[in-house]
A and B are shown apart, each in its own frame.
Chain A
Amino acid sequence: MKIRARDLAVVIVFLGILYAVFFLNLLKPADELSYSERRKLAQFPELNAETILSAEAMEGFDDYAVDQIAFREQWRRLKARFDLNVWLKTDNNAIFVEGGQVFKTEYPIRENSVTRLCGILNYVNRRYLAGLNVRYALVPDKNYYLPDKSGHLVLDYQAMSGLIRDNMDAEIKEISLFDALTADSYYLTDAHWKQETLAPVVNAVAEGFGSALRFDGNAYTEKTYAPFYGVYYGQSALDVEPDTLTYLVSGTTENAVVTSIEKPGEVLPVYDESQLGGMDSYNIFLLGPQAVVRVENPGSPGGKELIIFRDSYAGSLAPLLLDGYAAVTLIDLRYIRADLVGDYADFSGDPDVLFLYSATLFNTSDSVQSPPQEEFVSPFLARSER
């Protein structure tokens, strides 16, 4: 190849890529959502004197240009492959694949975040739960079950458990779930645990409350949905095998009456199958993210109720606890402030109360809403009071 031919080739390749992407971008209609990242995509900014002079329009256009670029997923795939195969990085955007399972690095412990959540839970305990049977359980992230030789950074769970224990009100006892789970308890492509593996968790929780409930696999029929693309599937931007989502149906779950304060007057199913194939199929379990959901078990012989303050993990666990209770109420403090909970949940009748939170939420508790400052007992104050 002669120099002129080389130069011509460089110019054709360079301009070819620039103009190909330019015209593809012009032709491509804007997408509203990114299913892989589970977020809204930036739209073309509003143009007026105010947005232009404040540079808001330009910043908006920068976001729009990146979010709406043609073949966005393919670009992300190329980046992920380059990071992992050329740079040989141990993760891509903190996500890595080990033995076909996708993990996200959650590291290190953010002490302020952990103590903040403890403080909010103490507030709930002191305001609503005096004299009740209250327990807490920490759901380890699946990285806890990685083999030591994997070399990845894993939270120091001994330190985190100690931190939680030291900062929770002393009367709230722990239900340990560490031995109730294994690496196989979690989806390959999702952060969550698999409902069909939760028998030991059900039994551990029941034992923790002194309940006679024990998981009976024969009582359930397995229903499945595939392919289930978990939250890490899209984030990893890699070719990994999708999961099969299994949910356990029984007479109890079929007959249960589900209500949500966000859907007043509606009777809802325990398993909302319309969520399958949507943005997050895991939302099949008790409607996904909801502020307060109440599940009544009309067939329950007793009147004992369970209240779970929770994140998303409880959605798949609660249906399996129904056989032991007349009702299970799930309260998500990310969507309702703790001081308002009393308006929507009934703490009379001596219910069991469980704080069930994942290590990830303890470590990133910003999303949990604080009660009003004047009422909020700081965890540091709480510690000195004890």
Chain B
Amino acid sequence: MLFSSISFAYYFLPLVFAVYFAMPRKFRNLVLLVFSLFFYFYGEPKYVFLLLLSSAIDFTVSLVINKHRGTKAAKRALLCSVLMNLSILIFFKYSDFFIANINALFGVNIPLLHIPLPLGVSFYTFQTMSYAIDVYRNDAQVQKNPLDFATYVSLFPQLVAGPIVRYQTVADQMTERKHSLEGFAEGAARFVMGLGKKVLIANALGELNKTALTTGNQSVLMYWLAITAFMLQIYFDFSGYSDMALGLGKIFGFTFLENFNYPFIARSITDFWRRWHISMGTWFREYIYIPLGGNRVPRWKWIRNIAVVWFCTGFWHGAAWNFIVWGLYFGVLLTLEKLFILQWLEKIPRICRHIYCLLVVTVSFVIFHLETLPGIWGFLKGMFGFGGVPLVNAESAYYLNSYKIILLAAVIGATPLLKRLVMAARANVRLERVIHVLNPVYTGGLLLVVSAYLVDSSFNPFLYFRF
């Protein structure tokens, strides 16, 4: 089930709210578990067992680790958890990638498995694995209640697209969390805001990107429209989803960590990755980079550690070479920044740092978006005027005109400008009152408009039809 669907907003949510808040506190985790499993089952009926299997493995393993703490048995149990989770991930996500590459490399013809990717598998395997590791490292208390643990793993607000919630973040909230009017209101407003980012901006920019990529009449402007739309689409889609997750979590009394912090205002790639998909970056840092020694090792090992982390980061995003190249591209840039570029960046004007970062990130999105190396190269040439296409043509001018306000809204929305304006306005008592009044109006209005877009997404007219 998608958050951005009528089924979710106008059937699932009213039911889950009604049942959850009608139940005594001690049954609320059970309610969340049942609804979360239904939420997952609704989208992936056959793979719900995999979610339960992953939960069961890590619940059991962590009990063993806790019982045999400090012994080889604990280490073996941890190894079992890591291997099982990685096996699930590799089998379901990467089988065909490996088979295709073996076929290409050795000239054999092993048939592809064509296994559908289970929803959210990259997120929940990382969550359950991190739980077992945290218990092993004594960073988290073991959870002895299987229902509470299953609720943590399957919690529908963050189940299929993150953020990756580490157990220690919500451990206390699993048993004791506060439900309040303030939390509900904040969560509802955040959820609607996320829905708006996804439906009103990301989806529209997705259309623009698709149109710009598939047109037969390319121009330099069209290349830039395509990639700008794609960058902003991914940002508003993903950060919108995170907003929805955080908002829903808040309604149910959970506080998840922020996942995005205006990444496009970063002044270096190091800064960018502190702001983009923070929960994933944290996961790789905590469970791969630091265990490998981080930066407290000889330089060659440090560079190796960066390479390993960014290879994994790229590969985590998708089973294709362009994702690996994308990850390594950032690995190389981050290494160069730490060795040379950051010192130089500090000496140049701030605007130049922003331009540097945006250009590098833009190129990274070309690699992320286009699947083949010739495709990436051709696109980059087109963007920078070496593609033998005009600077502007009627088509690109038309689409720029048609999407100008959405693009402008997206660019402004990707910066903290509005947030700062609201903060500044709150310093004034009168303006703060106006903001208070506007808050419910804005939330309700946005929900209505978003719903209108969701309804219209089924717009599928037939000019000529017969019954």
Contacts and interface: CB of A to CB of B under 8 A. Distances in A.
A336 B45 CA distance: 41
Contacts of A78: 448-449, 452
B416 interface: no
B6 A66 contact: yes
Contacts of A65: 5-7, 10-11
B188 A10 contact: yes
A267 interface: no
B189 to A, nearest CB: 6
Nearest to A24: B10
Given A62-B7, A72-B455, A90-B401, A39 B444 contact: no
Given A58-B42, A76-B455, A89-B405, 14 more contacts: A4-B181, A6-B436, A7-B184, A11-B184, A13-B443, A18-B10, A21-B10, A22-B11, A65-B10, A69-B6, A79-B449, A87-B406, A88-B405, A108-B215
Interface of A: 1-19, 21-22, 25, 36-40, 52-55, 58, 61-63, 65-67, 69, 72, 75-76, 78-80, 82, 86-91, 93, 108, 151-153, 191, 231, 234-235, 237, 289, 311-312, 334-335, 360, 367
Interface stretch (B132-140, B306-314, B458-466): B458-466
A149 to B, nearest CB: 12
Contacts of B437: 1, 6
Contacts of A91: 402
B402 A38 contact: no
A-B complex: 3 closest residue pairs judged by Cβ atoms: A7-B185, A9-B440, A13-B444
Given A17-B444, A22-B10, A3 B464 contact: no
B246 to A, nearest CB: 16
B14 A18 contact: yes
A38 B462 contact: yes
B224 to A, nearest CB: 19
Q: Interface SS of chain A: helix, strand, loop or mixed?
A: helix
A78 B188 CA distance: 22
Among A10, A53, A55: residue with most chain B CB under 10 A: A10
A240 to B, nearest CB: 16
A5 B444 CA distance: 15
Given A55-B44, A61-B7, A108 B217 contact: yes
Nearest to A364: B463
Q: Interface SS of chain B: helix, strand, loop or mixed?
A: helix
22 contacts: A7-B182, A7-B185, A10-B185, A10-B439, A13-B443, A14-B189, A18-B14, A22-B14, A36-B461, A37-B459, A37-B460, A37-B462, A38-B462, A39-B462, A53-B45, A55-B45, A82-B453, A91-B402, A108-B216, A231-B461, A237-B456, A311-B464
B13 interface: yes
Contacts of B9: 18
A12 B13 CA distance: 15
Contact of B45 (A15, A52, A79): A52
Nearest to B42: A58
Interface of B: 1, 5-7, 9-11, 13-14, 17, 42-46, 181-182, 184-186, 188-189, 192, 204, 215-217, 394-395, 398, 401-406, 433, 436-437, 439-441, 443-444, 447-449, 451-467
Nearest to B18: A19
Contact of A39 (B11, B192, B465): B465
B461 A37 contact: yes
A353 B12 CA distance: 59
Contact of A93 (B398, B439, B459): B459
B460 A39 contact: yes
Nearest to B409: A87
Contacts of A367: 464
A151 B398 contact: yes
A77 to B, nearest CB: 8
B401 A11 contact: no
B434 to A, nearest CB: 9
A374 to B, nearest CB: 28
Given A14-B192, A152-B398, A1 B433 contact: yes
A12 B440 contact: yes
Contacts of A89: 402-403, 405-406
Contacts of A1: 433, 436-437
A164 B186 CA distance: 60
B454 A53 contact: no
Contacts, number: 175
B1 to A, nearest CB: 8
B439 A6 contact: yes
A79 B404 CA distance: 18
B181 A7 contact: yes
A241 B234 CA distance: 40
A79 B452 contact: yes
Contact of B181 (A8, A21, A67): A8
Among B7, B11, B455: residue with most chain A CB under 10 A: B455
Contacts of B462: 37-39
A61 to B, nearest CB: 6
Nearest to A23: B14
Contacts of B439: 6, 9-10
Contacts of B455: 66, 69, 72, 75-76, 79
Contacts of B6: 62, 65-66, 69
Contact of A14 (B10, B188, B403, B464): B188
A16 B447 CA distance: 11
Given A10-B439, A90-B398, A76 B204 contact: no
Contact of A53 (B46, B433, B444, B451): B46
A69 to B, nearest CB: 6
Contacts of B216: 108
A88 B400 CA distance: 11
A362 to B, nearest CB: 14
A63 B458 contact: yes
B42 to A, nearest CB: 5
Nearest to A110: B216
Contacts of A61: 7
Among B188, B402, B462: residue with most chain A CB under 10 A: B402
B401 A55 contact: no
B440 A79 contact: no
A76 B43 CA distance: 26
A61 B6 CA distance: 10
A289 B11 contact: no
Contacts of B406: 87, 89
Given A7-B181, A108-B215, A39 B461 contact: yes
A27 to B, nearest CB: 13
Contacts of A21: 10, 451
Nearest to A154: B394
A9 B438 CA distance: 10
Contacts of B204: 87
Contacts of A4: 181-182
A47 B426 CA distance: 52
Contacts of A16: 444
Contacts of B7: 61-62, 65
Contacts of B14: 18-19, 22
A93 B17 CA distance: 34
A151 B396 CA distance: 12
Nearest to B440: A9
Nearest to B215: A108
A66 B7 CA distance: 8
A3 B192 contact: no
A80 B453 CA distance: 9
